[in-house]
């Protein structure tokens, strides 16, 4: 090649490439590459001593190699047609954000501090690369849409199922609530109905606590594989199945296949869904598929499907009526067809009537509705649900003042930031009605579990937020859609990595032979007429026992809270072991022989003869 032509070509490139901004992108991408290379080879990233161990010559060498590679790419036919500098800056930023989130978790523990710092930088890079420079995904990338969805689903399935199974096999799943459902499903399998003895330490139908007939949807699968881990697997699969109606919804919104794939991957990485599995199976997990199919039925304008999935949603729990009623209210005030607005009246009416029936049943035949979670809004001692509603209507300022206090503000960021706050970005005012369940169920109560992404109370609100995410996304301009979908995938990954990585800790202890011995011993205990009182972490493995009780996990055993069964199994690892041991000895119990393979953890007591 003529040297003059070569130099002229370089000169023209410099002039044409947006005044050097793409060269700046190349330099930053190379710098991030060099930083990542160093980070992946040593720890202590978040310490001031870290630079002492950095080999400056190696750092400069890696940086130069990165720049050289990106420069060479600009001269390769076909490749040079793409904006490789912008593309690599986006890729290196995304990888850096995810890796630093992981490193932060390992060094500092879970939290959103690193996310708050990195997310704005990620957004800036995405806007500069995908937005301003109109970075496009080539055919090779867009053709991987199906692969992306499969990978996202696989990651979510493996993460949730592996982490929850590990909770069982490491004796980390307590009686409340996994032990309750383990015994309940075994009793359902045996034709006894949804009854347990451990929920309130006497024989009781779970439906006296929560009206959850939806559990029978899972029963056929449990009957095929009757074991507690089946329930953990079913929970993960139930939530994951919500990606199917989401895929269909995106198709009806006219999103490209690749953007649809990115929305679906965001769903599979959404920390509220993954974290909600952290506390074992609950009926709430069925809210995700039922609500997502309800949304699809609404978008399809199918009245029969809308009614069917409204009923299925209501069957999950008495408070699921909140989600269904608000969806009906949204339809009434929406700009949808007259047919769907009328359907909204039907959905709203069914939900309100069903909720009233459930409340009446729980008050007369059950243990009552759990209005105590809203005690902050009760202005008299005998107040109930009506008092809460009256308080909010007459004094909205007080209700608003309680929405973003302390951990609730963090929770809002954890729920909305991974989906780019899109549920809040719309010109259609009626869509804000769909935020009511998020406020009512998660932000108003003073019950800390309801505004934590590590518990099951996120599932219903999370499903609605994902629907709003997709719904508002379709109203954006083409370039804005690209930016938002790209940001959401990376942001969801960052938030999940920085907050959920700890869920995998138990996996490395699953092979612990001591835990295996304890699980095997408890599962193999014969089912007889003898009653058993066992400490909280032993309850799930005793799921076959018909008369099973549990002392309180966090307070001392007393005559009022602990049944005096035929057999007592105490956990030596618990803080109150010594006091509880003395409690039973004082009441005429004595130690019984137990296999030495498990005696390091279990003390067996029987009534003295």
User: Which one, of 84, 83, 91, lies nearest residue 70 by Cα?
Assistant: 84
User: Which one, of 565, 600, 605, lies nearest residue 582 by Cα?
Assistant: 605
Q: What confidence score (pLDDT) does residue 241 get?
A: 96
The domain limits of the chain are: 3-136, 150-475, 513-607
Decide the pairing of beta strands 532-534 and 567-571: parallel
E strands in 226-377 = none
Residue numbers of the chain with a pLDDT score lower than 70: 1-2, 4-20, 79-81, 136-143, 381-383
Distance, in Å, from the CA atom of 343 to the CA atom of 252, rounded to the nearest integer, reads 19
CB of 202 within 8 A of CB of 566? no
User: Nearest 5°: phi and psi at 606?
Assistant: -135, 165
CB of 28 within 8 A of CB of 85? no
CB of 46 within 8 A of CB of 103? yes
Burial class (CB within 10 angstroms; exposed 0-12, middle 13-18, buried 19+) of 380: exposed
Q: What confidence score (pLDDT) does residue 379 get?
A: 80
Q: Indicate the angle between helix axes 320-333 and 303-314, nearest 10 degrees.
A: 150
Distance, in Å, from the CA atom of 391 to the CA atom of 389, rounded to the nearest integer, reads 5
DSSP per residue, 570-599 = EETTSTTHHHHHHHHHTTTEEE----TTTT
Distance, in Å, from the CA atom of 526 to the CA atom of 601, rounded to the nearest integer, reads 20
Q: Kindly state the DSSP code that residue 382 receives in the 8-state scheme.
A: T
Q: What confidence score (pLDDT) does residue 82 get?
A: 73
Note the Cα 130 to chain centre separation in Å: 28
Q: Kindly state the DSSP code that residue 279 receives in the 8-state scheme.
A: G
Distance, in Å, from the CA atom of 571 to the CA atom of 23, rounded to the nearest integer, reads 64
CA distances from 56 to 49, 53, 67, 94, 384 (A): 15, 9, 17, 24, 67
CB of 351 within 8 A of CB of 313? no
Claim: this prediction has a pTM higher than 0.85: yes
61-108 tens-digit pLDDT: 999 999 999 888 877 777 666 788 888 999 999 999 999 999 999 888
Distance, in Å, from the CA atom of 590 to the CA atom of 485, rounded to the nearest integer, reads 64
CB of 171 within 8 A of CB of 519? yes
CB within 8 Å of 143: residues ≥ 6 apart: none
CB of 442 within 8 A of CB of 450? yes
Q: Per the omega criterion (within 30 degrees of 0), is the bond before 177 cis?
A: yes
CB of 602 within 8 A of CB of 521? yes
Q: What confidence score (pLDDT) does residue 73 get?
A: 83
Alpha helices, DSSP H, located in 374-448: 385-394, 396-401, 407-416, 436-437
CB within 8 Å of 323: residues ≥ 6 apart: 287, 291, 313, 437, 460, 461, 464
CB of 236 within 8 A of CB of 308? no
Distance, in Å, from the CA atom of 494 to the CA atom of 413, rounded to the nearest integer, reads 13
Task: Count the alpha carbons within 13 Å of 415 in the hemisphere toward its beta carbon.
Answer: 32
Long-range Cβ contacts of 442-448 (<8 Å, 24+ apart) = 442/411, 442/415, 443/402, 443/403, 443/404, 443/408, 443/411, 443/412, 444/374, 444/377, 444/392, 444/399, 444/402, 444/403, 445/373, 445/374, 445/376, 446/373, 446/374, 446/375, 446/376, 446/402, 447/373, 448/407
DSSP per residue, 120-183 = HHHHHHHIIIIIIT-----HHHHTTHHHHHHHHHHHHHHHHHHHHHHHHHTT---IIIIIHHHH
């Amino acid at each position: 090649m003529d040297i003059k032509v070569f130099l002229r070509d370089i000169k023209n490139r410099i002039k044409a490439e947006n005044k050097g901004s793409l060269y700046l992108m190349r330099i930053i991408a190379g710098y991030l590459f060099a930083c990542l290379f160093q980070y992946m080879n040593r720890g202590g990233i978040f310490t001031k001593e870290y630079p002492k161990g950095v080999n400056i010559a190696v750092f400069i060498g890696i940086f130069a190699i990165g720049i050289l590679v990106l420069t060479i790419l600009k001269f390769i036919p076909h490749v040079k047609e793409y904006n490789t500098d912008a593309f690599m800056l986006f890729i290196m930023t995304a990888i850096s954000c995810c890796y630093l989130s992981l490193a932060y978790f390992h060094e500092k523990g879970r939290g959103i501090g690193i996310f708050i710092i990195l997310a704005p930088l990620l957004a800036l890079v995405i806007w500069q690369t995908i937005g301003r420079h109109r970075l496009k995904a080539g055919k090779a990338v867009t053709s991987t849409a199906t692969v992306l969805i499969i990978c996202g689903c696989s990651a979510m399935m493996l993460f949730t199922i592996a982490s929850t199974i590990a909770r069982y096999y490491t004796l980390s799943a307590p009686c409340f609530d996994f032990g309750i459902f383990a015994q309940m499903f075994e009793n359902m399998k045996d034709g006894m109905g949804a009854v347990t003895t451990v929920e309130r330490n006497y024989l009781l139908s779970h439906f006296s606590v929560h009206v959850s007939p939806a559990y029978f949807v899972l029963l056929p699968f449990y009957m095929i594989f009757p074991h507690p881990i089946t329930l953990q697997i079913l929970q993960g699969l139930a939530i994951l199945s919500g990606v199917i109606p989401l895929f269909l919804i995106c198709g009806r919104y006219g999103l490209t296949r690749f953007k649809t794939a990115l929305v679906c991957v965001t769903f599979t990485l959404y920390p509220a869904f993954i974290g909600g599995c952290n506390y074992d199976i609950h009926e709430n997990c069925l809210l995700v598929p039922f609500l997502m199919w309800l949304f699809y039925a609404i978008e399809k304008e199918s009245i029969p499907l809308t009614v069917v999935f409204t009923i299925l949603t209501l069957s999950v729990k008495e408070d699921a009526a909140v989600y269904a009623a608000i969806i009906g209210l949204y339809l009434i005030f929406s700009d949808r067809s007259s047919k769907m607005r009328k359907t909204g009246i039907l959905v709203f009416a069914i939900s309100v009537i069903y909720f009233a029936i459930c409340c009446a049943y729980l008050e007369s035949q059950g243990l009552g509705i759990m209005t105590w979670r809203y005690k902050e809004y009760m202005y008299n001692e005998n107040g109930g649900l009506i008092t809460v509603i009256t308080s909010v209507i007459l004094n909205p300022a007080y209700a608003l003042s309680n929405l973003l206090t302390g951990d609730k503000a963090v929770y809002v960021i954890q729920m909305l930031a991974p989906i780019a706050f899109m549920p809040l970005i719309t010109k259609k005012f009626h869509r804000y009605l769909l935020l009511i369940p998020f406020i009512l169920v998660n932000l108003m109560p003073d019950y800390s579990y309801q505004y934590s992404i590590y518990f099951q109370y996120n599932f219903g609100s999370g499903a609605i937020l994902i629907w709003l995410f997709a719904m508002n996304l379709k109203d954006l301009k083409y370039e804005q859609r690209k930016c938002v979908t790209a940001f959401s995938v990376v942001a969801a990954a960052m938030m999940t990595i920085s907050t959920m990585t700890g869920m995998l800790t138990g996996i490395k202890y699953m092979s612990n032979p001591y835990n295996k011995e304890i699980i095997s011993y408890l599962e193999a205990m014969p089912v007889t007429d003898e009653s058993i009182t066992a400490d909280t972490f032993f309850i799930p493995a005793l799921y076959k026992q018909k008369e099973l009780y549990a002392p309180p996990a966090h307070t001392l055993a007393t005559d009022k809270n602990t049944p005096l069964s035929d057999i007592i199994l105490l956990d030596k690892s618990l803080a109150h072991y010594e006091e509880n041991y003395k409690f039973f000895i004082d009441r005429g119990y004595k130690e019984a022989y137990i296999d030495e393979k498990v005696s390091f953890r279990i003390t067996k007591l029987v009534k003295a003869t």
